[in-house]
Amino acid sequence: MVQFNTKQTPRKYWFLIGLFAMTVVFSVVNHLSTYSDSTFKVTPTLESIKVRRSFPGGVVKDQITLALTFNATYADIPAPTLEWEEMAAAPVGRLDGGSAQIGNLLYVFAGYENINHVHSHVDVFNFSDNTWGDRFDMPKEMANSHLGIANDGRYVYIISGQYGAQCRPSTSRSFVLDTKTRKWSDFISLPFPRYAPPTQIWRGRLHVMGGGKENRFEIALEHWSIGVKDGKAIEKEWRSELPIPRGGPHRACVVANDRLFVFGGQEGDFMPKPGSPIFKCSRKIEAYIAEIVVAVHSDVYMLEGDGSKWKQLGDMPKPNSHFETSWVIVNSSIIIIGGSTRLHPLTKKMNLIGEVFRFRLDTLEWSVIGRMPFRVKTTVAGFWNGWLYFSSGQRDTGPLDPKPKKIVGTTFRTQLRL
Ligand X SMILES: *[C@@H]1O[C@H](CO)[C@@H](O)[C@H](O)[C@H]1NC(C)=O
Residues at the contact surface with ligand X, assessed by CB under 6 A: 71-73, 105, 126, 128-129, 133, 330-331, 345, 386, 416-418
Span between the terminal Cα atoms of the chain, in Å = 68
Half-sphere exposure of 176 (CA within 13 A, CB side): 20
Shortest CA distance to 416 belongs to which of 393, 394, 384, 375?
384
Nearer residue to ligand X within complex by CB, 192 or 387 = 387
Min dist CB 73 to ligand X, Å, is 4
Min dist CB 368 to ligand X, Å, is 15
Shortest CA distance to 296 belongs to which of 349, 337, 335, 373?
349
What does the alpha-carbon distance between residue 225 and residue 208 come to, in Å, rounded to a whole number?
A: 6
Nearer residue to ligand X within complex by CB, 105 or 302 = 105
Strand 83-87 vs strand 46-53: parallel, antiparallel, or unpaired?
A: parallel
Q: How far is CA 277 from CA 35, 165, 167, 168, 280, in A?
A: 59, 12, 11, 10, 8
Structure-derived torsion over alpha carbons of residues 346, 350, 354, 360, reported in degrees to the nearest 10: 100
Min dist CB 345 to ligand X, Å, is 4
What does the alpha-carbon distance between residue 254 and residue 246 come to, in Å, rounded to a whole number?
A: 16
Residue type, 328: V
Min dist CB 106 to ligand X, Å, is 11
Nearer residue to ligand X within complex by CB, 30 or 71 = 71
Nearer residue to ligand X within complex by CB, 216 or 413 = 413
Q: How far is CA 412 from CA 83, 321, 352, in A?
A: 10, 21, 17
Nearer residue to ligand X within complex by CB, 89 or 105 = 105
Nearer residue to ligand X within complex by CB, 73 or 172 = 73
User: Using an 8 Å Cβ cutoff, are 325 and 390 in contact?
Assistant: no
What does the alpha-carbon distance between residue 356 and residue 367 come to, in Å, rounded to a whole number?
A: 9
Nearer residue to ligand X within complex by CB, 135 or 309 = 135
Q: What's the CA angle centered on 260, arms 227 and 361, to 5 degrees?
A: 145
Min dist CB 72 to ligand X, Å, is 4
SS (H, E, C) 117-147: EECCEEEEEECCCCEEEEEEECCCCCCCECC
Residue 146, C-beta contacts closer than 8 angstroms, at least 6 positions apart: 96, 161, 162, 170, 195, 196, 212, 249
Nearer residue to ligand X within complex by CB, 33 or 332 = 332
The CA radius of gyration of the chain, in Å to the nearest whole number, is 25
Min dist CB 324 to ligand X, Å, is 23
Min dist CB 335 to ligand X, Å, is 9
Min dist CB 293 to ligand X, Å, is 14
User: Using an 8 Å Cβ cutoff, are 270 and 167 in contact?
Assistant: yes
Nearer residue to ligand X within complex by CB, 129 or 362 = 129
Min dist CB 214 to ligand X, Å, is 30
Min dist CB 301 to ligand X, Å, is 22
Nearer residue to ligand X within complex by CB, 116 or 131 = 131
